[in-house]
């Protein structure tokens, strides 16, 4: 192979490799969130249960949707929160009373927030996806 062709191939390989190197190991920031809501038999005895018409619940459309769906289905619901709304949702969720696992000696109950809608108690957890 002549010297000029080898130089051209080496340069091409270098440019292709350099173009790909920026994306190796990186992925889109993502950052969407999800509400996971599950209808439960009862809330933990020491958990604060909010009514679904409580202003702290009503203020967030994603939370309302997750709670209503889980209560209507009598099972679970997942509602996706767009990345653009995640910070606002985090602030809304921070205003809710939270039941933590260290509040009980039993693993019978789920951590998170408890909301009652039409007589059904719903456990809600909010997570931010990577």
- Tell me how many domains the chain contains: 1
Pairing, β 33-40 against β 76-81: antiparallel
Structural domain contains residue 102: yes
Q: How far apart are CA 34 and CA 41, in angstroms?
A: 22
For residues 89 and 83, the answer to whether their CB atoms sit within 8 Å is: no
Q: What is the pLDDT averaged over residues 49-65?
A: 98
Mean pLDDT value of segment 67-89: 97
pTM: 0.74
Full domain range(s) for residue 83: 33-128
From 40, 46, 31, select the one nearest 124 (Cα to Cα). 40
Residue 53 in domain = yes
Q: Is there a domain that residue 112 lies in?
A: yes
For residue 30, pLDDT over 60 is answered with: no
Is 1 among the domain residues? no
What is the pLDDT at residue 19? 44
Share of the chain above pLDDT 90, in %: 68
pLDDT recorded at residue 7: 39
pLDDT (0 to 100) of residue 66: 99
40 located within any domain: yes
Domain membership of residue 77 (yes or no) is yes
The mean-pLDDT minimum among 18-27, 41-50, 56-65, 115-124 falls in 18-27
Q: Is residue 78 one of the residues assigned to a domain? A: yes
24: in domain: no
Q: First CA to last CA across the chain, in angstroms?
A: 48
> What pLDDT does residue 25 have?
37
- Comparing CA positions, the residue from 76, 77, 80 lying closest to residue 127 is 80
């Amino acid at each position: 192979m002549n010297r000029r062709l080898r130089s051209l191939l080496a340069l091409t390989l270098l440019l292709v490799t350099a173009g790909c190197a920026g994306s190796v190991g990186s992925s889109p920031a993502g950052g969407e969130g999800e509400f996971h809501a599950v209808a439960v038999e009862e809330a933990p005895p020491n958990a604060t249960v909010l009514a679904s018409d409580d202003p702290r619940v009503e203020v967030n459309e994603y939370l309302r949707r997750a709670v209503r769906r889980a209560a209507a289905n009598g099972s679970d619901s997942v509602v996706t929160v767009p990345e653009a709304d995640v910070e606002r949702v985090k602030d809304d969720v921070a205003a809710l009373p939270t039941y933590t696992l260290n509040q009980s000696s039993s693993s019978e109950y789920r951590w998170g927030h408890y909301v009652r809608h039409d007589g059904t108690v719903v456990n809600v957890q909010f997570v931010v996806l990577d």
